[in-house]
Amino acid sequence: MKLLKFLAMIFNIFRKKRDKKSKNGTPKEPLLSTSREEFEGTLEVKEGKLPEDIHGVFHVSFPVGSVNSGGLPFPKKKANGEDNPEYGSPIMNGDGFVIQLDFNPNPNPKVKTKLMKTPCYYADEATKEGTKHHGLMGFHNMGITRMSMVLGGRNQLNTATQPIKFKNQINGSLLATYDVGRPYVLDPKTLELVTPVGRAREWMTAQPPMVPWPFGLIQTSAHPAFDPITQELFTVNYSKNKGSYTHLEQSLHHLKHNRHLFKSKLEALANELVDHEDTEQVKSRVNQFFHHLNDHVGGKKHDPEEPKGDVFMNLLLWKGEGALTSWTLSDQDGSKLAIYECMHQMGLTEDYIILTDCSFKFAMDMLFDNPFPESKIIERLIRRLATVKMEPFTTTYIIKRRELKPQGGFAIAYRLDLPIPLETIHYSCNYANPNGVITLVGIHNAATCIAEWVRTFDIRALDKRPVDPDYYSLFAVGSMDISRIGKWKIDAEKLTLLTDQSQVYGDAGKYNEENLGPNTWAISLYGYRGILSADEPVREIKQLWYLSDGTTKNLLTQFIYNLYKDYKHREIDLELIKKLTEKELPFGMTRLNVETMQPEEYFQFDRNVFPRGVHFIPRKTPRPTLDPELDGYLVCPVQVGNSPVNPTAYRSEFWIFDAQTIAKGPICKLSHPKIKFAFTLHTSWIPEAQPSDQKFIIPVRSDYDEVLKNLELGVDRKMLEEFFETHVYPHFN
């Protein structure tokens, strides 16, 4: 038997070497190749010249796989040759990583990288594959999040950094954020985590009360709102409706006590039903299975009378020290806010806070996507039943800041008379709200959900062929219509959406020509002068640069096509969608004049060149002849294929554009041999990387000692205390 295993390992080694060859014999590199190596160094100018007046410090955040994977992509096999259950996990499920570019030592800019090492990161390290604790305590990728049946959910801090500067601070700090975890203050000089925002006990967890996890699931916003004028940070802490938690509670119970029996029973059901034509019958059978899970699985029974908790929605305020101030929110009718999708983004003006139900299913129904990640048949069944379309609108709430009592308590989040009539993931607001009128600039990703990812069993919508494995784990954002950008006027006092004063821009571009021109195919990220500034608010957004990701055959799966073929707000008919997806429209960057809502400049990237973000950096010395909104540079993380047709390797570069003339192309390209990314998320910029002067710090030991002390329901508290003492606390002073 040992000999057979040895021979299998040798075969796998040679097979991997063979698979890494392209058609012409050149070593091939995966599209998602990403490094998690921490280092410091000096950037190299690969092309062009670094502008003498570029300055400040740029950051970009992104996920880099798990403690087991060693980066991205998630490998198909473990080191011992066994199938890897992490293979095909969504790219969004990964440890947070920050790259910092410091332009202040011009012309020799520095680069630094850092993993976001939260307490749960060290718990994950101590229970990873191959350790004695991996068994029940180990963390596993379960859909879009990473969970342990004993320890809870990972706070991966992989989404964004945000500058903050509280009263009596000179340097300020960064904030590292994630949709499902407390934000952390980050030192701009060292990129080390300084303190969580609020003690663990100040946050309510989204999992059922019967689940005694030290790392509870905290649902919040990946884009909290910081006011540079009042120097206050606002965020949210919420849960979705828990009426459906009975199935979740039972599942967690049997995963912990009767895992193998649970898996075998569910796999048998999945094999019977996954391809059944009658979806209603499939739903009925699966619901019946989970409703009577105690009878189906056997073993130690789950007590259905255990407390279930309730839906909650809290607005939180932090001023950089002391306890969080919390307001429990209801709408103007006295009803609790019902969040159906998530609160990925928040907005803020001088007089109002804006809350929205964002079109990103980063919530409990997606978090627990597959309790058995190693079983693709179960994953197929769950996706068939659990995946729903994004709501084709955005429910919006307004909080009047003047009504917030300083001591906290209750507050009203006023629901607008009409929702914004398109789905929204990201948006920004003018800080100024003259006469109580809010201007909200929204990115509307039509017929899209970035919580969906390409699975290992997906087929392409165009030709029904299997998706290229290079694309496994990526967001399944094949274009099912053009995106839009909306400038929405809201009367915050009358609670009305002023549709007659609002404007929407969307354009399919010149898709029959080589140069597509300004278009809104698959808008990803955007930037403008002053975005996320901790020093000065943007009273009016006048110029905005956004990235469009075109069309990609391998990202338009049959599943996504079927999900959105009847999209309510369709602009492009399905036959043209197919034709342009076959053509594979290129990536581009467009400057939009927000005052006129018309594009004014465009740059098209070459084939197999993928811009992954865009951020505005003001010139160190302003040019009085230039409009301030154009007086600066744009920095883009860019993944560059080495061939326009069949790339076998990719370079990770940072391209710099002159903001007023992007059509001329990048004026400088920077790189470092150790930087390797495939997909990045949000960016930020600060004038200098000075040490954080955050004085109020919550010690990790006292924070989690309190959590462990209050865990109930039969927890082996002594075991957990010893685990934290050995594997978590030593990493924190």
- Classify residue 286: in a domain, yes or no: no
**Cα 556 to Cα 179: distance, rounded to the nearest angstrom:** 26
Model pLDDT, residue 459:
97
Is residue 708 a contact partner of residue 720, using CB atoms and an 8 Å limit?
A: yes
**Cα 101 to Cα 56: distance, rounded to the nearest angstrom:** 8
- Classify residue 440: in a domain, yes or no: yes
Tokens of residue 587, six digits: 């990536």
Structural domain total, the chain: 1
The domain that holds 545 is classified in CATH as 2.130.10.10
The predicted model scores a pTM of: 0.92
Model pLDDT, residue 569:
95
DSSP 680-731: ---EEEES--PPP-------HHHHHHHHHHT--SS--HHHHHHHHHHHTGGG
Range of the domain at 71: 34-245+308-359+394-446+481-550+585-731
Tokens of residue 437, six digits: 């009128």
Q: Is the pLDDT of residue 362 over 80?
A: no
Proportion of the chain in helix, strand, coil states, percent, rounded to 5 = 20, 25, 50
- Classify residue 559: in a domain, yes or no: no
- Classify residue 21: in a domain, yes or no: no
pLDDT in tens, 476-511: 999 999 999 999 999 999 999 999 999 999 999 999
Model pLDDT, residue 511:
97
Q: Is the pLDDT of residue 10 over 70?
A: no
Binding residues for Fe cation: 223, 344
**Cα 103 to Cα 110: distance, rounded to the nearest angstrom:** 7
- Classify residue 240: in a domain, yes or no: yes
pLDDT in tens, 51-71: 999 999 999 999 999 999 999
Interhelix angle 717-727/119-126, rounded to 10 degrees, is 100
- Classify residue 78: in a domain, yes or no: yes
Q: What is the CA radius of gyration of the chain?
A: 25
**Cα 256 to Cα 211: distance, rounded to the nearest angstrom:** 11
What is the band of 145 on the pLDDT scale with cuts at 50, 70, 90?
Answer: confident
**Cα 456 to Cα 602: distance, rounded to the nearest angstrom:** 36
Q: Which of 446, 445, 448, 470 is nearest to 458 (CA)?
A: 470
The CA–CA distances, whole Å, from 68 to 121, 267, 368, 375 equal 12, 26, 20, 19
**Cα 712 to Cα 709: distance, rounded to the nearest angstrom:** 8
Average pLDDT, the chain: 90
- Classify residue 272: in a domain, yes or no: no
Interhelix angle 259-273/279-291, rounded to 10 degrees, is 160
Tokens of residue 456, six digits: 């290992």
Model pLDDT, residue 372:
80
Mean pLDDT calculated for residue range 647-672: 97
Q: Is the pLDDT of residue 11 over 60?
A: no
- Classify residue 205: in a domain, yes or no: yes
Binding residues: 223, 344
Could you give the percent of the chain with pLDDT greater than 90? 75
Tokens of residue 492, six digits: 């915050």
| 16-25, 78-87, 696-705, range with the lowest pLDDT | 16-25
Q: Is the pLDDT of residue 389 over 90?
A: no
Q: Which of 648, 676, 693, 642 is nearest to 171 (CA)?
A: 693
Model pLDDT, residue 14:
39
What is the band of 4 on the pLDDT scale with cuts at 50, 70, 90?
Answer: very low
Mean pLDDT calculated for residue range 628-655: 94
First to last CA, the chain: 48
Mean pLDDT calculated for residue range 360-387: 70
Mean pLDDT calculated for residue range 11-36: 64
